[in-house]
Structure 1
Amino acid sequence: MAEIKKDKVAIPVIIILSVLVPLIVLVLMNLPERYNFLGVQVGAFPLFHAVLNGLTAVLLLMGFFCIRSGNRIMHRNMMISAFGLSAVFLISYVISKISNEPVPYGGEGYLRPIYFFILISHIVLSAIIVPLVLFTMYRGLTNEYKKHRKIARWTFPIWLYVAVTGVLVYLFMIPYY
């Protein structure tokens, strides 16, 4: 009964956040004017975001290997840390969109379609990963391990892909910052 009561609060909150987060990012990306209230230059954010994404990928892999070796406590700690870095990334990303104009990709030739495939898949999956991560974290932290495992099978590879492709997008864009 307590599980159902918790779900009545947690599930609507997860759904609301899952809709609001991508919408807010979309609106901020299309602002008519930027407000660089932190005074940070355009190149600083992408490097910071790439570092956060790279560290998130490392933590996700460490968490995966921890659970495979039966170490639930370390698995939990790695996943909570990955979630924390992703939250910092999201806040920083929103600030960067408020602060700086988007930088267009200037690459040509065979790299251009590769870049755009990676970018578009990264963007689409980063919107999808929000509810997956929130539900996976919720089920794990409420000790609903059967439900946690079921959704984590989808969450882990998508989250890892989003983290790794975030670094790849940065590497493609380095010459244009």
Structure 2
Amino acid sequence: MSNLSAEEKKYKKFITIVSIAIPIAVAALFGIKLPNVEPLSFLPPIYATINGLTAVLLIGSIIAIKNGNRKLHEQLNTTALVFSALFLVMYVAYHMTSESTKFGGEGAIKYVYYFILITHILLSIVVIPFVLFTYMRAKLGQFPQHKKIAKITFPLWLYVAITGVVVYLMIAPYYVH
């Protein structure tokens, strides 16, 4: 017999579904181009800015909790979660209406770019269940477990947020307008 509460079971089921569905949906939608739709070429700097703001929120969140301000910590993390969802929607919308941009750099910078891009993409998939489980632990008042998983979630999420900005800045000169 399981020691999990009904609420925790419900959260875990939701998190599992979302953690699998998001990467599959993004991959599927990435291959769909909407015909006769104006390219949403204005979105990349917006969603890169949202990634940057997410990083700022995460850093502010850590400062808030280290200063004992649990309420501000919760508000900043909730906002970071909303920003990550907004990023995802804009990112998919852009790629459904625009051709992917090829990186034009050569030499060592090309390898640096692809290393950052690949780790960003892989960790953006990995971080989904971490973020959701960390959030769930806090919502359920399971603060020792929350703190334990947050020590993994925070650096992963921060890396994804920061590298999203770096990837944008590195590829921005190659966007076709």
> In the aligned structure 2, how far is the partner of 1:36 from the partner of 1:104?
23
Q: How does 1:11-26 map to 2 (within 5 A)?
A: 11-26=12-27
> In the aligned structure 1, how far is the partner of 2:39 from the partner of 2:75?
32
Task: Give, in angstroms, the shift of residue 34 of structure 1.
Answer: 3.4
Query: Who is 1:82 aligned against?
Result: 80
2:30 is equivalent to residue 48 of structure 1: no
Query: Who is 1:69 aligned against?
Result: 67
Query: Who is 2:93 aligned against?
Result: 95
- Summarize deviations over 1:84-135 as a string: whole Å, max 9, x none: 1011111111211211111111111111000000000000000001111111
TM-score, length of structure 1 as denominator length: 0.93
CA separation of 1:143 and 1:36: change in aligned 2, threshold 3 A = farther
> In the aligned structure 2, how far is the partner of 1:2 from the partner of 1:76?
26
> In the aligned structure 2, how far is the partner of 1:36 from the partner of 1:12?
38
Aligned length in residues: 174
Q: Is the 8 A contact 1:129 1:159 kept in 2?
A: yes
The sequence identity of aligned pairs, in percent, is: 41
TM-score, length of structure 2 as denominator length: 0.93
> Structure 2 counterpart of 1:22, which letter?
P
| Aligned residues: CA RMSD | 1.6
- Summarize deviations over 1:62-95 as a string: whole Å, max 9, x none: 0001011111011011101111101111111121
Q: Is the 8 A contact 1:34 1:101 kept in 2?
A: no
Task: Say which of 102, 105, 109 aligns to 1:104.
Answer: 102
Q: Is the 8 A contact 2:47 2:91 kept in 1?
A: yes
Q: Is the 8 A contact 2:31 2:96 kept in 1?
A: no
- Summarize deviations over 1:30-83 as a string: whole Å, max 9, x none: 23x33464x3442x1110111000000000000001011111011011101111
Q: Which runs of 5+ in 2 are unaligned?
A: none
Classify the secondary structure of the residue corresponding to 2:104.
Answer: coil
